[in-house]
Amino acid sequence: MIGPLGRIFLRDCALLVPGGRRGGSLLPLLFFLAVAMLYPFAVGPDAPLLARTGGGVVWVAALLAAILPLDRLVAPDLERGLFDQWALRGIAEEAVMAVRLAAHWLSFGPPLMLATLPAAALLGIDGPTLRTVELGLLAGTPGLAAIGMLIAALTASLRSGAALAGLLLIPLAVPILIFGAGSLTTGGESGLALTAAISLLLLAITPFAAGAAIRAAREG
């Protein structure tokens, strides 16, 4: 027997996880791979340079790919009245947002980490660096997903919310980028730990802030 939140989680996954006939968009993944593919063309076939900068490129591509799904995260359900129906059933906005955050990360983090493998091959990243990149993404993508979720909820009721969301995400994601990509040059665990710490903090705040944003949008 699955509860109401379990059903909402399954619905969110069905709508957000890429692939499938009615699944979410593959666009963020393809975008991510396209950046990894274009970068060697742009800087030329200089293998040491590619290997040295490749990790950073993967990080930038991941950050930019995080922008793409934002307009589908909250705004459609708000427009279609699903949040109102959940509220009438006594399901808190915070709970809905926490569930959706989990579904959003599942549809975004693990696929990106998988796509990093072919990207690493394209950029000529070596094994230890790839391991650091993957661990960094594991620590950082929950934070990126949380920032995206928060921004999507805040801009859901705005007319040009989608464009604004992209602009808002970039400055907020800079700390994750600095520590996540920074762990590549220092090669240390401290960068990864700080990335994970930022992610955890964002994961804790986001359901409450996003829930409040939904309620505020209702009053507007």
Partner 1 sequence: MQASPPAWTDNAALAAVDIACRRGDRLLFRGVGFALNPGEALHLAGPNGIGKSSLIRILAGLLRPFAGSVERTGAAALLDERPALDPQWPLGKALAFWAGLDGASAPAHEEALARLGLARLLDVPVRYLSTGQKKRAALARVIGQQAPLWLLDEPLNGLDRDAVALVEVLVAEHCMAGGIAVIASHQPFALAGLVRCELERHVP
Residues that bind partner 1 (CB under 8 A): 4, 7-8, 11, 15, 22, 79-82, 84-85, 87-90, 218-219
Q: Nearer Cβ to partner 1, position 85 or 190?
A: 85
Q: Nearer Cβ to partner 1, position 44 or 220?
A: 220
CA pair distance 54, 184, nearest whole angstrom: 10
Minimum CB separation of residue 15 from partner 1 in Å reads 7
Minimum CB separation of residue 43 from partner 1 in Å reads 40
Minimum CB separation of residue 22 from partner 1 in Å reads 5
| 103 burial via Cβ count (<10 Å: 0-12, 13-18, 19+) | buried
Report the SS3 class of residue 139: helix
Structure tokens at 116: 């990093």
Q: Nearer Cβ to partner 1, position 42 or 88?
A: 88
Q: Nearer Cβ to partner 1, position 44 or 90?
A: 90
Q: Nearer Cβ to partner 1, position 7 or 131?
A: 7
CA pair distance 143, 63, nearest whole angstrom: 11
Count how many residues are written for the chain.
Answer: 220
CA pair distance 131, 198, nearest whole angstrom: 20
Instruction: Assess contact for 71 and 46: CB atoms under 8 A.
Output: no
Minimum CB separation of residue 83 from partner 1 in Å reads 9
Q: Which of 178, 170, 184 is nearest to 197 (CA)?
A: 178
Minimum CB separation of residue 84 from partner 1 in Å reads 5
